[in-house]
Structure 1
């Protein structure tokens, strides 16, 4: 009897552990896309967001699920704390970054583009605005304005009181409102402008380029000190058009959905050389964001190679 009881205990214990792990895995997989987006919007790096998710999973796997009232909330809180810690380290790294820093471009599915608020929040223009916020302000803004979490829930994630979070949210909202793109541009309008822009670049038609870009357009080029890129913003239609005319004649320009909006992927000898995103205001291109740093292009290169 005792011997039989010991055998039963030995077989039951792994079964309980496996069931608990299955339950933890199911919850994590269910909310993974949300957690990745939270981390990416806070960090501007898909690679760092994946690292944050790995850390979150390792911690989540050790949690007693019986004590967790709301698994989604708990996972968001864990992810936010991990992202905040990494964001502070990244800010120190960015201080020594060579040339302009741009977010790692992220291939996004059509359903992201259909969610206008989410697409706007991950756009290159908006991600650069988020860079101007302090770490906790950025976390509060993302959780409140993008994902509509309650103040109490956010307070737990950032270790502040709900009253403090309300003040931080108001300050961050005001800061972002003063810097974000002036109006929402439709996907169709962006595609049309990009198609015309692509033809102008491919043909080297300087006048057509000048007709499409605003007089005070700004081009940011991120080479990270690894490949050739402008070390300072290029400002003004004439100077920007001159830079664009120097694009390699053998390069191919193809449209893609990047950071929730249409963008162009420039390939040379089969590999991705540059991802170009645009900001459009009042029908003119006011911002061009050219990511050239190979470290930031490896993920999108793999994904587009697989999908081609």
Structure 2
């Protein structure tokens, strides 16, 4: 019997190869992804799933903008909750099909992630979301309280990306797993919420990095391994240069050195590396960064960037 494995699915697992996020494309992509997950379950691993939601939230934001003259825009925390429900349903259906005729119980938990209202990210939003627009459109939405910034390709909305403090609904996910369910939780990094002095919670306009939230969720549910599924088989040292080489087995200390040297871009591999490091540093057996089709081999130790506390070489 394998251990408890948390798999964090990247956007490539839920869209077409060209990034298209039409309903048909999402169904096909998630169906393919769940065949790989099903193989792990058949091998005896206890699996929990989390996922990104960038393209899906982008679609909702575009609908907001197209309908703004009729309806007030939907808050960003609502967008995350909606995508948790939609993607969770697609994942549940696809995983049940992939495991048929074997009996399987799958559940999705709409999950809140606590963030600190004093997180510096709220003072200077920098996370771009949604599509590019002209200045007139950007100014119109600034009147709704949004922050927009000019980029090379046009104007784009930017929001805060605070650090995940706690996955609040992890106990519900644990209870379901202990009852025999494969659980989908903390999709899109979780619905961002802050706690008031009286203890009440409220949503905020923010986006939580899904890989960092996955590390927090993995710790909360006592996963033995964290698998960050992306579109490449390994993280690379010297990415984009002639000296590029894959990172395979590596200790936390060694990977921290590479991170400090600037090998991992903040907008792509950087959060994945940080999430892997955090999980291993906080007591996880091993974190793996690899492509979706290689997750089984990665857990066997044959491929992927495999991070552990280890004995330094």
TM-score, reference length from structure 1: 0.29
In proportion to residue count, which structure has more strand?
Answer: 2
TM-score calculated relative to the size of structure 2: 0.29
Greater helix proportion: 1
